[in-house]
Amino acid sequence: MEKTVRGKQVLKMLKFGQLTFNKGELSLENLLQGGQAFRWIYNENKNHYTTTMKVGDSDKYVVVILTQPSQTVLEFATVGNMCCLKSLGDHLADYLRLEVSVRDLHATHWIKRDSNFTSYSPQGVRMLAQEPWETMISFICSSNNNISRITKMCHTLSRKYGEKIGKFDSMDYHSFPTSNDIKEKATETELRELGFGYRAKYIIQTAEKLAIDKAQGGFLGDTEYLLYLNAHMTYEQMREHLMSYSGVGPKVADCICLMGLRMDDVVPIDVHIKRIAMRDYKFQAKKSDIKQLAEKYRDLPITRKKINLELDLIRLMFLGKWGSFAGWAQGMLFSKEVGKTSGATTSGEIKKRKLGDITETSDVFEVKKEFKTEECIVESTMIEEGTQISIKVESR
């Protein structure tokens, strides 16, 4: 069966899979553009999100589509059905960390440890398991910056230096550039002209160093190299190594550890979390604690140079209060403090939105995977560039 749109035969069949879970475990609108990931694009008219990502162990990027028709269902597909649904479903369950119940953490751990958590709930905010290399560059861009500008920078890097993967929603989608891509294609001058400011130097130097480091270690991929290091280092050693890269201080290193390397107990301390520590927890650093911590880092020269001991004591305070998933608790507080999301849209604008409100239940946590096929009119790679085609999803 074929349909014609403006003279073009473009009917494709998108195969959709489903993940189901309990209310409050996941909210795409509160999560995907809330300050962890920066390349999800939101279609306001059709209420779906798209990005490019590697699925499973593949080094090839595909265009992934996510939509959440209800508070308990996530639907997913790839443009052109470029990978099997089971592989994509497994990858997304892993990317979204659905093996962890954030509602259970809130109810049985954080509230019992910290009475402040009785006044708010997770609202579907959780930690993502992202590519460590992309996380590194994204958070180098975060220095003295806001989510909207970080988003713009990450999309610019992909558009200028990544590989074109496909077209959807009348937009071109690209891979995130590797360290070699940036090393070979980008210059500090060009990045400054593109609006990166002083971060341009950091990005170029970091890409050059990581390209050399991974080659000397016998690795081809940036993420492969960083994951190998992480498997053979303690947190303090990994943070020390990450801070050897230009533009990576303690906060950026901790963001990489938490969101890119799954160190769930790591609490990145930015201006928002510092404010929470001072305002809600009356934090005050003791001279004896500062002295003891300085001694602990005696054999870590980069840490000694870059660390703010007072902020690191805040990290340790929250780790003591919140336990092995302290980083997730921090993510929840960060989301509540900021109170909004900000991200790219198919209109070409970066827009801010208030967090959605979720009424949670006490159901037993369970993730289910189902698969179905829905008919979609999408842009074919054979269509002339610039042809406008609407997306229509019809359940069969």
Task: List, by residue number, the catalytic residues.
Answer: 251
Q: What is the DSSP letter of 12?
A: E
Q: What stretches of 287-392 show up as alpha helix (H) in DSSP?
A: 287-296, 301-306, 309-322, 326-338
| Spatial contact of 384 and 10, defined as CB atoms under 8 Å apart | no
| Spatial contact of 63 and 73, defined as CB atoms under 8 Å apart | no
Q: At what angle do helices 222-231 and 132-140 cross, to 10 degrees?
A: 100
Tokens for 166, please give them. 């496909």
Query: CA nearest 203: which of 268, 143, 267?
Result: 143
Say how many Å lie between the first and final Cα of the chain, rounded: 14
**Rounded Cα–Cα distance for residues 170 and 164 (Å):** 14
Residue located via tokens 């980083």:
327
Provide the CB-side half-sphere exposure for 13 (13 A, CA): 7
